[in-house]
Chains A and B, each alone.
Chain A
Amino acid sequence: MSDLWRLTGHEAHEGLRRREFTAVELTESVLTRVLEVEPQVHAYITVTADVALEQAREADAKYASGTATPLAGIPVAVKDLIVTKGVRTTAGSRILENFVPPYDSHVYEQLRRAGAVMVGKANMDEFAMGSSTEHSAFGPTSNPWDISLVPGGSSGGSAAAVAAGEALVALGSDTGGSIRQPAAFCGVVGLDPTYGRVSRFGIVAFGSSLDQVGPIGRDVEDVAVMLDCIAGHDPRDATSNPEPKPDFRNYLARGIEGMRIGVPKEYFVEGMEPGVRARIDESLRILEQDLGCTVDRELSLPSTEHALAVYYIIAPSEASANLARYDGVKYGFSDRTGNSMWQNMEDTRQGGFGVEVKRRIMLGTYALSAGYYDAYYVKAQKVRTLINREFQAAFERYDLIVTPTAPTVAFPIGAKLDDPYAMYLNDIYTIPASVAGLPAISVPCGESEGLPVGVQFIGNFWQEGKLLQAAYAFETAVGWANRVAEVGGSG
């Protein structure tokens, strides 16, 4: 019973349903695991043990009364930009280090309704700006497979927690790859839903036209269960899709024979590690030969080479406005040592934001300034439209597009910290789908140099079902799913 933390969410739900163990026992097992590995991994900014045990007791009552749904009693890591009433929510920033929200985000409300158990608030790059979780004001997270490496980011804490058994499943957020890239680095499954599929109400905003909350799990089924819980219309988010959501779990076992898969040739560029390339080639072979898909490697998406530039104009522009509210006047960190209101606001922002956040605020402010707006922001929006059109044309011929999730496996902590552009290139495969608002999932496809590699499936708008269907078949064929990193001490 001591290894309950090794279970996936759906396995644990079965065990709970059959009364093999209680939600409190499951939660205690995970909290013990947290105590054991957290010193090495540092997946959490805040561990909410009391909240977790209270929620576990409530979940046990649901199982006792026969009203438990699949997430009841399941320990979840919640990225720390997901607002949780009464529980400190920092977004990885010093400027919110003492911010205790008086309201809940939509997704956390949904988790609560489903009876899930919150283990803690997961570490992240400050305001989700980063690809390594090194830009957290609370220190970096380590990759559970090798603690000298980064877990990816910005949802590095969420992915590492799931990979290390510090949670069974997690919620992350994705703006340009922030769920998929850490999922790939940590050997777990991560889904970025269609923009508008999941309410952004209560998600600390970074790039509002790109941000989307999504699930991370050790297998595709857990990701489907989580999406079923958080997706759907929320009138508090005007960009949320009012259409009823399908039952995503229904798609899993449908098989993918005959699916048409496009592989964009522009993605196989220099910078992709040979080990990653080999795993992707192997994945395409599995899809074609073992699973009966047609694979076309001649798909061309020429505009996607500009997606990175588009992203680094639009996301910082939106961020420059989204982060204007943090001025020390209303809540959060406040430096009041200056001799005027303006000085205090400036000192608060100077001391409260980290270097990467300040860099992006300046980038965005510049791109929106008079005289530059047309050349940067307006042009970026036009290219964004072109990228959308290219994807739409591709989806007339293909069901799904397959790419690597990241060009490399996890890299050493500190390796790219002084080279922002090298860091930005990490998201080169994930950013195009984000810019287009399309759903995409990263699934483990094996290892390179002993480290997990992820393959990315991109679907058309609202086709998370088809994505999960393909990912599930692929995961089964690859046979790498549901592995937990031991992290040294566990034995």
Chain B
Amino acid sequence: MTSTVAIDFETVIGLEVHVQLMTKSKMFCGCSTEYSGAEPNTHVCPVCMGMPGVLPVINERAIEYISMTGLALNCEIAGFSKFDRKNYPYPDLMKGYQISQYDLPICQNGWLDIQVPGEEPRRIGITRVHMEEDTARLLHRVDASTGEGYSLIDVNRSGTPLMEIVSEPDMRTPAEAREYLVRLRQILRYIGVSDANMEEGNFRCDANVSLRPFGADAFGTKVEVKNMNSFRAVHDALVFEQARQAEVLRSGGTIPQETRGWVDERSVTVSQRSKEEAHDYRYFPEPDLPPLRLSRDWVARVGAKLPELPAKRKERLLALGLSEDEAVTLTESRERAEYYDATHAALGDTPRAAKLAANWVLSEALRWSNVNAKDLDALPIGPGQLAELILMVEGKAITSQVAKDVFEAMAASGKGAQEIVDEQGLGAISGADELTGIVRRVIASNEKAVADYRAGKEASLKFLLGQVMRETKGRATPQVAQELIATELAE
């Protein structure tokens, strides 16, 4: 279905992402934001409950976080911005208005580069990033005795700092939209401003999607799609929506401007609100908060706190001689990338060290990470310890086969490589004196393989080597053992 759409129409997608910031306290009061799992209405005060006469005070850390985000997304940071009241009545909105930013957001005019695997890279414009506050949470219940529905309000979330990131309508496929979200989330986690977890609701996405004939300049009528709770849902909703709109347009219909909701269970979007029913938010400047003035110095200080971002990091890794795949995988998260850098540094500043560190991080370390569902900052083997293990292999003090077992033992115990090798006697056996006896035993007890080898079957040598390795529990240095076998058989 998607491919027939592409023949006639071009899809135009813009995304609005709401991100909860990881500040310790709320946006405008001192309440803790760590209410996850807490009893309802225990992280509240008169300010975030919207009681009479209370006033908001700006959380400076939130402004720092949004500015970091703006800088990471190549935005201009406004020297002068302000807050506005967005008026609409809803029981989850404690004051009857939300403090947000209307015409003077903190960040504007940025971009984010994305690349769907196998396609050309694309630059997606960031229109703006602005600051607002989250609402309370409504819990809908049914009275078991009467069957009547009712709602409860949990105010814990009310006033949590929320950042809205609005993209330009620059995406053309659902795959690009998903890639944009993946890269955006990656950056937010890198700079440490949010967990950006879609399933937990601290990273929420609405999409604006429209179709236009290929080659047309003017945009079609856009439809806003809400209620998408995973990257997959965003992708599927956009696929559905582009097919639905194409069908309407092809049969001569028009697309009304409306808000539609994604229904995950049925994999469809349904109309929620027409343009006529849209709110008039009656924005006006928030009189309780003076305008925000961010000096160049302050912005520069915030910029200095940014870590090296994934795109830059990837370029650096490519320059070290790593492959595209390796560089992408190693820079997936900041923890992983920093682990790699530290391991590399401990091994020395050589191309071989870069490659060795990559091999080990991508194999053993990532396997541990996947099995334990933890990032590498949680790995009990520090980068220095991993380097020590790698250097033991390099110096042939242990075989690479044994090294994998040592790695497991280190991860389980937190002990160093040398300590484990000493304790368990895992050092490599490379002396001919020690190995010759074993080789002879193996040759004596594998007559068939010896006969095959002598009949010209080279592969039998590998089998015999395998037997030697088994006898030594992997500790035999393979090259030495192989030479010994060949020598013994030649005699």
The secondary structure that dominates the B interface is loop
- Contacts A329-B153, A369-B280; A324 near B96 (Cβ below 8 A): yes
CA distance A370 to B51 in the complex (A): 28
Contact B290 A370 (CB under 8 A): no
Q: A364-383 CB contact bits vs B (8 Å, 1 = yes)?
A: 01001110010001000000
Cβ of A352 to closest chain B Cβ, rounded Å: 13
Cβ of B88 to closest chain A Cβ, rounded Å: 9
CA distance A236 to B55 in the complex (A): 7
CA distance A169 to B276 in the complex (A): 54
The secondary structure that dominates the A interface is loop
Give the residues in chain A near B91, CB-CB below 8 Å. Answer: 327, 329, 341, 345
Contact B289 A83 (CB under 8 A): no
Asked whether any CB of chain A lies closer than 8 Å to the CB of B89, the reply is yes
Number of A-B contacts (CB under 8 A): 100
Contact A208 B50 (CB under 8 A): no
Q: B278-291 CB contact bits vs A (8 Å, 1 = yes)?
A: 00101110011110
Asked whether any CB of chain A lies closer than 8 Å to the CB of B267, the reply is no
- Contacts A235-B57, A324-B89; A377 near B52 (Cβ below 8 A): no
Asked whether any CB of chain A lies closer than 8 Å to the CB of B431, the reply is no
Q: Using a CB-CB cutoff of 8 Å, which residues 49-91 of chain B contact chain A?
A: 49-58, 85, 87, 89, 91
Asked whether any CB of chain A lies closer than 8 Å to the CB of B453, the reply is no
Give the residues in chain A near B55, CB-CB below 8 Å. Answer: 200-201, 236-238
Give the residues in chain B near A203, CB-CB below 8 Å. Answer: 53
Asked whether any CB of chain A lies closer than 8 Å to the CB of B295, the reply is no
Asked whether any CB of chain B lies closer than 8 Å to the CB of A294, the reply is no
Asked whether any CB of chain A lies closer than 8 Å to the CB of B201, the reply is no
CA distance A102 to B51 in the complex (A): 10
Contact A89 B52 (CB under 8 A): yes
CA distance A238 to B54 in the complex (A): 11
CA distance A324 to B97 in the complex (A): 7
Asked whether any CB of chain A lies closer than 8 Å to the CB of B151, the reply is yes
Q: Which residues of B contact A (CB under 8 A)?
A: 46, 49-58, 85, 87, 89, 91, 94-97, 151, 153, 280, 282-284, 287-290
Give the residues in chain B near A235, CB-CB below 8 Å. Answer: 57
Give the residues in chain B near A324, CB-CB below 8 Å. Answer: 87, 89, 95-97
- Contacts A208-B288, A317-B284; A238 near B95 (Cβ below 8 A): no
Additional A-B contact list (7), CB under 8 Å, known A207-B287, A325-B94 = A202-B54, A209-B287, A238-B288, A239-B288, A368-B283, A373-B282, A373-B284
CA distance A204 to B289 in the complex (A): 16
Asked whether any CB of chain B lies closer than 8 Å to the CB of A331, the reply is yes
- Contacts A321-B97, A329-B91, A369-B282; A101 near B57 (Cβ below 8 A): no
Contact B53 A201 (CB under 8 A): yes
Give the residues in chain B near A102, CB-CB below 8 Å. Answer: 46, 51
CA distance A365 to B279 in the complex (A): 13
Q: A326-345 CB contact bits vs B (8 Å, 1 = yes)?
A: 01011100000000010001
Cβ of A121 to closest chain B Cβ, rounded Å: 13
Give the residues in chain B near A91, CB-CB below 8 Å. Answer: 52
Contact of A331 among B51, B54, B87, B89 (CB under 8 A): B51
Asked whether any CB of chain B lies closer than 8 Å to the CB of A318, the reply is yes
Contact A318 B290 (CB under 8 A): no
Contact B46 A368 (CB under 8 A): no
- Contacts A324-B97, A325-B52; A370 near B46 (Cβ below 8 A): no
Contact of B53 among A204, A209, A329 (CB under 8 A): A204
CA distance A201 to B45 in the complex (A): 14
Give the residues in chain B near A325, CB-CB below 8 Å. Answer: 50-52, 94-96
Give the residues in chain A near B151, CB-CB below 8 Å. Answer: 341
CA distance A81 to B49 in the complex (A): 18
Give the residues in chain A near B49, CB-CB below 8 Å. Answer: 330
Contact of A327 among B54, B85, B89 (CB under 8 A): B89
CA distance A317 to B51 in the complex (A): 19
A-B contacts, 12 listed (Cβ < 8 Å): A83-B53, A96-B52, A102-B46, A105-B53, A201-B53, A208-B288, A236-B55, A239-B288, A239-B290, A325-B50, A369-B282, A370-B282
Contact A81 B53 (CB under 8 A): yes
Q: Using a CB-CB cutoff of 8 Å, which residues 218-270 of chain A contact chain B?
A: 235-239
Contact B53 A202 (CB under 8 A): yes
Cβ of A324 to closest chain B Cβ, rounded Å: 2
Cβ of B108 to closest chain A Cβ, rounded Å: 21
Give the residues in chain A near B94, CB-CB below 8 Å. Answer: 325, 330
Asked whether any CB of chain B lies closer than 8 Å to the CB of A21, the reply is no
Counting from the closest, the 6 A-B pairs by CB-CB distance are A324-B96, A209-B287, A368-B282, A208-B287, A204-B52, A202-B53
In the complex, residue of chain B having the shortest beta-carbon distance to the beta carbon of A99: B52
CA distance A101 to B290 in the complex (A): 27
Cβ of A329 to closest chain B Cβ, rounded Å: 5
In the complex, residue of chain A having the shortest beta-carbon distance to the beta carbon of B288: A208
Contact A318 B287 (CB under 8 A): yes
Contact B52 A205 (CB under 8 A): yes
Contact A103 B290 (CB under 8 A): no
Q: Using a CB-CB cutoff of 8 Å, which residues 38-93 of chain A contact chain B?
A: 81, 83, 89, 91
